[in-house]
Amino acid sequence: MTRKRSLLLYEEACQSLVGGVNSNARAFKKVQLPPLIAKAASCDLLYDADDRKYIDYCNSWGALILGHGHPDVVAAACGQTVRGASFGLTFEGEGQLSSQIIKAIPSIEKIRFTTSGTEACMTAIRLAREITKRPNIVVFEGNYHGHAETLLPKAQGLLLLPFNDLSRLRAFFASKEARSVAAVIVEPIPSNMGLVHPVQGFLEALYEETRRSSSLLIFDEVVTGFRLGLSGAQGLYGIDPDLTCLGKIIGGGFPLAALGGKALFMDQLTPLGPVFHAGTMAGHPVGIAAGLATFAHLHSPDFYPKLHQKALRLTQPIQETLQKAKKPACLQQAGSLFTLFFGSSSVIDCHSPLDDALFAEFFQTLLVQGIFIPPTPRDVWNISSAHTEEHLDITAEAVCRFIRTAF
């Protein structure tokens, strides 16, 4: 496969950009290839700098639930750019988007928009520490909450627990240390160790233990928010977290994220309360406009059923092939998100062993056939409403062929 221009551009980029990229996963390290250099995209297709075409299952890491360049989103974003891309002031659309979010997610009473998911999570942590006057935050292995100092695994004040381990969780909260916990932050259906379902009772236990220890429960729904349905993972599981972090989909492909939650806690942010928050680009008007245009589609009663149907059109044949082939691999799915894991027949945490070399071979095999999936063994495929049946079927065939023949 020749990617001459892409390689040249990548070499050039390496002269001035660290590692030739602006975000770690874009480096394609896990798949032993030089990274794709994007040139353009439309609907469910991505074009690289050599004008090669790929069916895109990354979709800007899940931000593009309507696919690339949806005409309504483009019109809204362009219109807003003309009217004023950024004001550094409260903008009339902010109230509309925040009230739609509040209507969709019952645990959210107040919102503060940020620019990235990282900032939303970072602000949630600062808020929890200030409210409770406690130092520690419980996080789970394999979860990801952005690259803020306070949430990187070795940060001071982070207490790392295994995900899906109910007895360790209960034992921890029975110990004296529980009284030092300001908050528990969790991806309710993690996607950053590949898609993993919480075991029965795990999220409920988090809710109970945070109530008992008077700490806050923070759901990081940067990926799952407006992806699984209007009310996110918390709606599916019927859990009422104190704070929720949102991102990706709410900005329709533009940099917009949000922290939302109970008014009692959210009102502790400045200017009402003492917990400082600010941002030149926070609540960016173009992101708000694109978000509103996206939400207009999400509110249609058949949007999510149709999206999930599309996902099943791809995943059902893969599941059937996996069952027949009886190979050490599995597909785990929640709505339009899924991961095909190689090397394990069930993945419940980040310790389940995976075959990274086989994943790299799989990724490369799909890429030469014009199919682009997220380039790490532990990430999620994102189905968008723009995926055509024809492209889903082509992809299913390519994946099933690999399963039958390659290992």
Binding site for ligand PMP (CB under 6 A): 61, 116-118, 121, 144-146, 187, 192, 220, 222-223, 247, 257
Q: Catalytic pick from 44, 248, 310, 379?
A: 248
Q: Could you give the maximum distance between any two Cα atoms of the chain, in Å?
A: 62
Q: Pick between residue 61 and residue 342 the one whose CB is nearest to ligand PMP.
A: 61
Q: Catalytic pick from 56, 220, 242, 379?
A: 220
Q: Pick between residue 43 and residue 250 the one whose CB is nearest to ligand PMP.
A: 250
**Angle subtended at Cα 140 by Cα 139 and Cα 144, rounded to the nearest 5 degrees:** 85
CB under 8 Å to 202, separation ≥6 — which residues?
163, 164, 166, 169
CB of 319 to ligand PMP, least distance (A): 25
154 is known as an active-site residue: no
324 is known as an active-site residue: no
Q: Pick between residue 26 and residue 53 the one whose CB is nearest to ligand PMP.
A: 26
CB of 224 to ligand PMP, least distance (A): 8
Contact criterion met (CB below 8 Å) for 120 and 141: no
CB of 25 to ligand PMP, least distance (A): 8
- Could you give the CA distance from residue 116 to residue 284 in angstroms, rounded to a whole number? 11
207 is known as an active-site residue: no
Q: Pick between residue 98 and residue 376 the one whose CB is nearest to ligand PMP.
A: 376
CB of 79 to ligand PMP, least distance (A): 24
Residue-by-residue DSSP string for 318-369: HHHHHHHHT-SEEEEEETTEEEEEES-S---STTS---HHHHHHHHHHHHHT
Residue nearest to ligand PMP (CB): 117
The H or E element that residue 292 is part of is: helix 285-298
Name the token pair of 22: 């602006």
Name the token pair of 321: 């092939």
- Which amino acids are annotated catalytic? 144, 220, 248
